[in-house]
Amino acid sequence: MKTIIFVCHGNICRSPMAEFIAKEIDKERRYEYISRATSLEEIGNDIYYPAKVTLTNHHIPYTHRGAKRITLEEFQNAYKVFIMDKNNYSYLKRLFPGEDFSKVSLLGKDEIEDPWYTDRFEKVYQEIKTSI
């Protein structure tokens, strides 16, 4: 099965929201969806509480999970890697120099803001859902 990876900075807000929204939309499970971080800051932490509330408000099921940083093997084996902002791209380039980045693209038409800083979880949810 082909794997699609959603990537954000800490893997506690945007990328897990995208993972669980995609899983809910793709009921046939044509792809495996996972989410990962570019940083080590939140490793092991569950989805940020306001992101959980937003998913719950939209009847999107999610599971308890610990944030994980993307590995080289995951990156190499991914069918597609969707990033939330240009900083994610820069971090991936530093993590995996020399790798093929043709499978990497922004999830949305533009960058999807980090609601950790803006507290606009509903806006981010709508952008992610529309983009998927």
Active-site position among 13, 69, 85, 114: 114
- Rounded to whole angstroms, the Cα distance separating 81 from 74 reads 10
Catalytic residue among 13, 14, 36, 85: 14
Kindly name the residue from 8, 36, 69, 85 that is annotated as catalytic.
Answer: 8
Q: Is 24 exposed, middle or buried (0-12, 13-18, 19+ CB in 10 A)?
A: middle
Active-site annotation holds for 85 = no
Q: Does 13 participate in catalysis according to the annotation?
A: no
Torsion of CA 18, 21, 26, 28, to 10 degrees: 110
Q: Which residues are catalytic?
A: 8, 14, 114
